[in-house]
Amino acid sequence: MKSSTPIRSEAEIIAAVIAGDTQLYHELIRPHERSVYMMALSYMKSEADAEDVAQEAFIKAFRNLPTFRGEAKFSTWLISITLNEARNRLRRQSVVRMQSLDEPPDEDGAVSPALLRDWREIPSEAVEREEVRTLIKKAVETLPEIYRQVFLLRDVEELDVNETAQTLSISISNVKVRLHRARMMLQKELAPQLKTINRAPKRRWLPWS
Amino acid sequence: MVIECKHVWNHISEYLDGALPEETRDTVQRHLEHCEICSAILDSTRNIIILTADDRVFELPAGFCERLHARIDLELMAT
């Protein structure tokens, strides 16, 4: 394929970095900074630890770049490195509270949603309010680990079912079950709280606003 | 076919992803048309997923990018 644009594809940048133009690595990772940090945060809980893990993952990815074969997407490859780094660090910190990622979800663990009679749509501008952001973050952070990871990959990082299964080394049906439970848990936790927040007094009626 | 609310809840996630088999989807849809509780559960779940995915919810810590690229520069210099 002939390219007339000066904008290089990710694959071309990777090839250039491997060939010795290492400064391009800065450019290569820029679009992935947020997702790597998010995945690190899903394991580490503390922002400082998550940042360390993210930095370490980017360094490891640089060192191992020549082994990247392009079979997976670069973003998926980066996330696998990040998850490995996070797991290793937790092991070193001997935080044993970690559940096994291969653990099958309990079959009897159906999650009942919060029952509401009606739902008034909460506009996305609501997340500009600190209290709303804090509520949502807290709800996600307190999800059990196996659900939090699937939720972050599918609904925040927007990986598809296959990529999520591959990244976490779990089956596709496990991805679906865990995602469903994560979403129901969030609905159960957040819907009643957000509903009240939504009723916060509006000032729009003020003539000068 | 008529199904109970509890069974509809089991399908909410896949319904939102458009991943249900046609027949199940139609059954769920018919239920939603007359059940305000299940409709509210579906709407709130969809709304919460959209809010959570908003980039403004999970933000990078201040100075994250500067520190990261400084660290990478050190690594690049060492190679």
- Write out the two tokens for A48: 């400082």
Residue B25 backbone dihedrals phi, psi, to 5 degrees? -60, -45
Please report the domains of chain A, with CATH numbers, ordered by start residue: 10-92 (1.10.1740.10), 124-198 (1.10.10.10)
Q: Which residues of B touch A116 (CB under 8 A)?
A: 37, 40-41, 44
> Is residue A157 over pLDDT 90?
no
Look at residue A99 and tell me whether its pLDDT is greater than 60: no
Of A22, A59, A116, the CB nearest to B41: A116
d(CA A184, CA A139): 12
SS3 A123: coil
pLDDT above 90 coverage of chain A, percent: 56
Q: Residue A65 pLDDT more than 60? A: yes
Chain A residues with CB under 8 Å of B57 CB are 127, 133, 136-137
Distance, in Å, from the CA atom of A144 to the CA atom of A105, rounded to the nearest integer, reads 11
Q: With 50 as the cut, is the pLDDT of residue A102 above it?
A: no
Q: To the nearest 10°, the Cα dihedral for A21, A23, A24, A25?
A: 110
Q: Reply yes or no on whether the pLDDT at A25 is more than 60.
A: yes
Using one digit for the tens of pLDDT, what is the confidence trace for A199-208? 655 555 555 5
**Rounded-to-integer distance, Cα A126 and Cα A166, Å:** 34
Return the pLDDT at B50: 96
Q: What is the pLDDT of residues B6-53, one digit of tens each?
A: 999 999 999 999 999 999 999 999 999 999 999 999 999 999 999 999
For A178-202, write each residue's pLDDT tens digit: 999 999 999 999 999 998 876 655 5
H helical segments located in B1-79: 5-16, 22-34, 36-53, 64-78
Tell me the mean pLDDT in the region A122-133.
91
**Helix H or strand E encompassing A73:** none
Phi-psi category of A82—alpha, beta or left, where left has phi over 0 and alpha has psi -120 to 50?
A: alpha
Sequence ranges of the domains in chain B: 5-78
Q: What ipTM is given for this predicted complex?
A: 0.90
Residues of A within 8 A of B12 (CB-CB) are 113, 180, 183-184
